[in-house]
Chains A and B, each alone.
Chain A
Amino acid sequence: MKDTQALIERVTRVNDTHQHLHLSVDPSLMSMKAGQSVLAKVNETWTPYLRQQWFPVKLTKKALVVERPAAEPYQPGQVVSLLGAVGQPFRFRRSLRSVLLLAYDTEPTPLLMTIPALIENKIGVTLVLCGVAAKYGTAHLPPEVEIIQGDSELNWQNRVTTIGWADQVFCAAAPEVESVLLARALAVFREVRADVQQAYLFGVFRPPLPCGIGACGACLIKVKGSDPQFACAHGPAFDLTQVGGLG
């Protein structure tokens, strides 16, 4: 974890709702993995007070690319303060052939950085956009990614087949109602698969992070058979079958 400054080199609009910021960052952040994030402060004022959690979507040779809502104003040349890297990389199984990424009522941003590495390793990637997420434009994503749109009840075409094919699933949900939506996702997967095994279905938890370092205790997740875990330091991905309070 380092407190560094980054320079916004380019701002590119990728769809109707989102833009990519190409950041020139400290070398320590150029080894970030999918699942990790940075906490950004874009100005010297205290509004907004907390740092924003920025998820990278890809690494180029020179830049860390993060995705932000198009409504937020950014300028090339702007300097931002970054704390990071926050969190742990997603843990993939070794014998992986197909991964299902599920964005539920939220943009798929936290999931997107997995895509280049998965494709490079010839692992099939299916991105399911449910509810509000279905409005997310996907023209900028690699053509190898299978895109499916679903409704807010987690219904989509060939759902049983899609879930059956997946060796691992990562699900991001709207942060405001994260636990409710992730519990619903767990219920749907339990309905479709007779047995949802451990290390199969992961929820990506994104509560507001005051410290991002595992110090303040505001992001603790109850985990069955273990001490509570920090979403910032141990997450963001947690095995949904092991998270307490989801059913």
Chain B
Amino acid sequence: MSVRISRLGKNTLVLNTPVMNAAGTMGYADEYRDLIDFGKLGALVTNPITLAPRDPANGARVVPLDAGVLVHTGLPNPGVRAVLDTNRDKWGKLPASLRLIAHVVLLSSVEDVRRCIAALERVERVDGIELGLSDEISPAEAEWSLRALISKSEKPILARLPFGAGVEMARACEDAGADGLVISAPPRGVARDGLGRLVSGRVYSPTLKPLVLRLVGQIVRQVELPVIGAGGIHTPQDARDFLEAGAAAVQVDSAVWVAPNRLEWIARDLGGLVLTQPAGALADEWFPSMGMTAKMPAQDKESTDKHENDLD
């Protein structure tokens, strides 16, 4: 199975599996190596990277919500130079089939962002750039910024739209030459922390899925670019809904934190891998050869009996 998530061209991004994590959820490289089989994912999207280092936000950064969480990290990162120094070798050890997408934040000047992207593009292992557009940016500003960045870029640039941005923004990104769209960033919200203080941050929740799904459905009909759906995906069915709506691939966000095996589960499911679970097994007690069951034909009775005997 191969899925194209950027325009056709010299460096078109093609994934083995239409599933990846969302930016900000899995670190910069192999932080989840003990919990997730990276070989089952289509791509790894890094945490946000900026040209200069950024400190973590002050005050409360996490506010638990009903069926969700509000997170305000302040986009802490050590700056692109330190990110490369620390992670270049780790990236080299990731499975070759895994595409590596660096998430760059469009917060500072376009020149700073261009220098950040240029530094990342010099690393062969980086397959593409995901550019996070700020929440306040207008379609005209987005188009202008993207034009300036894309004209000097070698690798595919995916534009991650702010939550709620619609067709106008998507068209602006397409006109500017973006290679793909990610719809969308988590919405911003405000909630009270344990002390009753108001905290602003991004909201992660399974309840966001219907909202983003609608946006994806609207936008894919209006643009030619491949679209990656992102928001509230917690089950394979959630992910399938996005593909049915027209997305080429999906990003899984906070589900990675609360149930890391869900990402692999979704990736296996959408990657055409068959899950086999003996009747009565505990949730993590899957059939031992599950990892090797790529496109396994439907089991006949004899093999089913054998699996049951294996468990005895």
Residues of A at under 8 Å CB distance from B?
A: 1-5, 41, 46-51, 79, 81, 83, 175-177, 207-220, 222, 227-228, 245
Contact = CB atoms under 8 A, between A and B. Distances in A.
A70 to B, nearest CB: 20
B55 A51 contact: no
Interface string B58-75: 100111111111010101
A176 B71 CA distance: 15
Contacts of B256: 211
B259 interface: yes
Contacts of A220: 56, 73, 76
Contact of B47 (A48, A213, A217): A217
Contact of A50 (B32, B58, B64, B77): B64
Nearest to A45: B67
B43 interface: no
A51 B258 contact: yes
B64 A208 contact: yes
Does more than half of chain A's interface fall in helix, strand or loop, or is it mixed?
loop
Interface string B29-68: 0011011000000000001000000011010011111111
Contacts of B236: none
B187 interface: no
B206 A46 contact: yes
A228 B55 contact: yes
A83 B260 contact: yes
Interface residues of B, number: 44
B56 A228 contact: yes
Nearest to A79: B282
A176 B195 contact: yes
B24 A216 contact: yes
Given A175-B194, A215-B31, A218-B61, 5 more contacts: A211-B257, A217-B24, A218-B71, A222-B55, A228-B76
Contacts of B25: 211, 215-216
B137 to A, nearest CB: 23
B67 A46 contact: yes
B64 A49 contact: yes
A49 B65 CA distance: 7
A219 B61 contact: yes
B241 interface: no
B200 interface: no
B252 to A, nearest CB: 13
B55 A2 contact: no
Nearest to A177: B195
22 contacts: A2-B35, A5-B283, A41-B259, A46-B206, A46-B234, A47-B67, A49-B65, A175-B194, A177-B194, A207-B62, A210-B254, A210-B258, A214-B27, A215-B27, A215-B32, A216-B25, A217-B76, A217-B77, A218-B62, A219-B61, A220-B76, A227-B78
Contacts of A207: 61-62
